[in-house]
Structure 1
């Protein structure tokens, strides 16, 4: 958000961001990109923020938030910038969260806009506040997350900078004995438009001796396109670091956030999100209220979208197992349509269709095998594409992909794609990449076998050879003249598909029979281009 708007929000008591988090080894914790409960069950935050520090009498809001399906509530607190929330008050907040079976994210709002907004506290001052509350927070690690400081840096440069100040705050919290999952907000009023948190997250994560810190990004006007949203989420998933969307809205003065993509991407990746905010906004952003006058029965249009819309809270939230919620055991659907492209002597690009899951797909494992032998995971992706590099020239590889959900369930594997890299004297200016389209007990279909001209001039005729596993026979083919000698198959172009321009493709397919129970497929595809 802009400096001016944040100042208005703070002064009139508008509620800001809702981060998400999980406590350390004794409670909520992170594992790779995921948040887990102490029993190892994945927990994906779905909820909103409540401006408790400005509306301390609105304690019915906790039940209201739960009644609309949320599993998490982020609670705004102050250590002195506004009327301080005492230890007894915070203990009651935690009790209300537990009574309503909500994970409680406690957030210190004093730090909002430090360096740019008058009166803002440092992260070090925020840690002092948490230490003063330690007696009522210790023992609640299964039920709560500590969001050290809301939007702790504005748009101005400060000393120490975000990376150093956040690392020091985490170190001091751990030194004081906190075992909780910690949550840290991005600079630039939470929106990280300069990429400081994105580029330095690993440094901050490694400053935590317990490796139990989750990062929180606030998505407002900076995130008004699907490309911007996906790119930011991709960066953390590629780095293997945990991220939540701690705050977002459907409208904003600094732009129009793409809430549909924010929610859809969070759901497909298994990333938590917390909408802003329950009720009580002012300073010109009253449209961010999700309910009117703190009444869960009076949803606004934004509240309807967040709680009841596509990829919304009611449809996607799963209650924490600490409160009796069921642990997800349903795997995602298998990815489909695995295909290869851009084959070179040392690499290949892979793409596939997305899997679906009731909790959310968090990523895909890419498996590779040689022409024969077992598949092994060689990489992972947070999207539906992957580039495999460092391959050997003129070598055959097989690929499969599987999906993982937020609970750690793994899908069945996709179809198998066979690729032979170029180079090493076997390419002849073209490559052949095969896709196993379907299979059954004693047979399968390979289609397409894509022939690509990798040279600088047109191919006038091509020949593809490959090897059938023992006991397999070709029972039909199309778009190529196919002959078999032993287990070696030779496929040549027909009159209408022999000429291929540079970077263009042709294709053919075939059907084969195999002994029952045999799951092997042809391998060793090589291509030679020349004169037909």
Structure 2
């Protein structure tokens, strides 16, 4: 065998295919952990940036059976910035509690409609600014670029803005699985994400993007839930329910259908939220005053009810096959 051919083979072996992922990876519309085992998110949202003193919440979520937590962070534009040291500590605690850590920037919420909200491009800059907290964590961390990145104004820019943010992260060398939220305050009633997801996924050079819809009042029937999620399944595009509740100011979501359809079709879900919601949406608290011994009816439902977390969650095998 010639020296030139040997060199080429060595190069291919060392670098792998151009689109290979490190850690979590998407294949045929499904999420796989670093051991190549399919992983289905079964967890809840925790508002860390507003309640950093409630650090023990991650342990409580794990003890209740969650295999993941979506952790609210701030870029510093609307709330106190979660810096590299803070995020490093959060990730380490998630790992200690065997939770896959879905990190999200909340400052993008309702851009175009919500005063002070930032662009996805600015959110991408935040991730690059704390990249040292993310480096080497591809097997344990999913980067949710920005929460509900467009309201009901200007949502037509969702595809372009999302593509730009993904390109910025990939261009800077971040190889994590990326999660992207839908517009329309996450609910995608305009079907902008649904119809644009294929092009966004294909534009990611690592093909390692997961789509997240938030299901509140728009999804008030089983038919609406199954139709929306089913179209992603049919297209073999990865979809998760990144937020949902048992009730909301904009209507009454069908949480039973969300849980049942997600379980039947191996779709991840992350309920909103553990505790600390403002008074007007306090009914979304799963625990009273962050106390795991005082689960609300919503907390009991999502953790202990049919198709809930305790019944269906499986740990990512990166934490040990018996975990």
Category of TM-score, reference length = shorter chain: over 0.9
Alignment of 1:292 with 2:264, yes or no, is no
In 2: Cα distance, 1:108 partner to 1:207 partner:
22
The 2-side partners of 1:172 and 1:209 are apart by 11
How many Å apart are 1:208 and its aligned residue? Answer: 0.4
Give distance in 2, aligned partners of 1:50 and 1:157: 28
**1:25 deviation in Å?**
1.2
Q: Secondary structure at the match of 2:280?
A: coil
State the match for 2:27 in structure 1.
Answer: 31
Aligned-pair CA distance for 1:143: 0.5
Which of residues 145, 148, 152 is equivalent to 1:148? 145
* 2:114 equivalent among 112, 117, 131: 117
Describe the superposition over 1:487-528 as per-residue Cα deviations: whole angstroms up to 9, x where unpaired. Answer: xxxxxxxxxxxxxxxxxxxxxxxxxxxxxxxxxxxxxxxxxx
1:68 aligns with 2:64: yes
2:241 to 242, 245, 250: 245
On the 8 A contact 1:49/1:275 being kept in 2, the answer is yes
Counterpart CA distance in 1 for 2:322 and 2:205 is 31
Pairwise CA distance, 1:326: 4.4
Displacement of 1:263 after TM fit?
0.2
1:25–1:38 contact (8 Å) kept in structure 2:
no
For residue 308 of structure 2, the aligned residue among 312, 315, 340 is: 312
2:170 is equivalent to residue 135 of structure 1: no
Following superposition of structure 1 onto structure 2, how do residues 352-391 of structure 1 map, counting pairs within 5 Å? none
* Cα distance in 1 between the residues matched to 2:258 and 2:40: 15
| Cα distance in 2 for residues equivalent to 1:47 and 1:197 | 23
Residue 111 of structure 2 aligns to a residue in which SS?
Answer: coil
Contact 1:53 1:78 in 2 (8 A): yes
Quote the residue 1:387 is aligned against: none
- The within-5 A match list for 1:130-529 is 130-157=127-154, 161-326=157-322
Q: Can you list the C-alpha shifts for 1:141-196, whole angstroms capped at 9, x where unaligned?
A: 101100000000000125x7000000110011000000100000000000000000
> What SS does the corresponding residue of 2:132 show, helix, strand or coil?
helix
Contact persistence 1:306–1:312 (CA under 8 A) = yes
Aligned residues: 303
Q: Give SS of 1:56's match.
A: coil
Match of 2:88 among 91, 113, 116: 91
Question: What is the TM-score of this pair, normalised by structure 1?
Answer: 0.56
- Give the distance between the partners of 1:201 and 1:118, measured in 2 at CA: 27
What is the rounded CA distance, in whole Å, between the counterparts of 1:136 and 1:161 in structure 2?
30
2:9 paired residue number: none
1:318, 1:325 within 8 Å by CA — same for their partners in 2?
no
Partner of 1:370 in structure 2? Answer: none
Secondary structure of 1:315 counterpart: helix
SS of the aligned residue for 1:293 comes to helix
Q: Post-superposition shift, 1:325?
A: 3.4
Aligned-partner Cα distance in 1 for 2:231–2:316: 27
The alpha carbon displacement at 1:296 in A equals: 1.0
TM-score with structure 2 length normalisation?
Answer: 0.92
Match status 1:49 vs 2:45: yes
Q: Secondary structure at the match of 1:216?
A: strand
Match of 1:107 in 2: 104
Deviations 1:277-301 (A, max 9, x none): 0000014110000001111111000
Q: Which runs of 5+ in 2 are unaligned?
A: 1-19
Q: CA deviation at 1:135?
A: 1.1
**Are the equivalent residues in 2 in contact too, given 1:151–1:187 (CA < 8 A)?**
yes
Q: Please identify runs of 4+ aligned residues in structure 1 that moved more than 4 A.
A: none
Q: Deviations over 1:331-356 (max 9, x none)?
A: xxxxxxxxxxxxxxxxxxxxxxxxxx
- Tell me, what secondary structure is at the counterpart of 1:278? coil
RMSD: 1.1
CA distance in 1, matches of 2:259, 2:196: 25
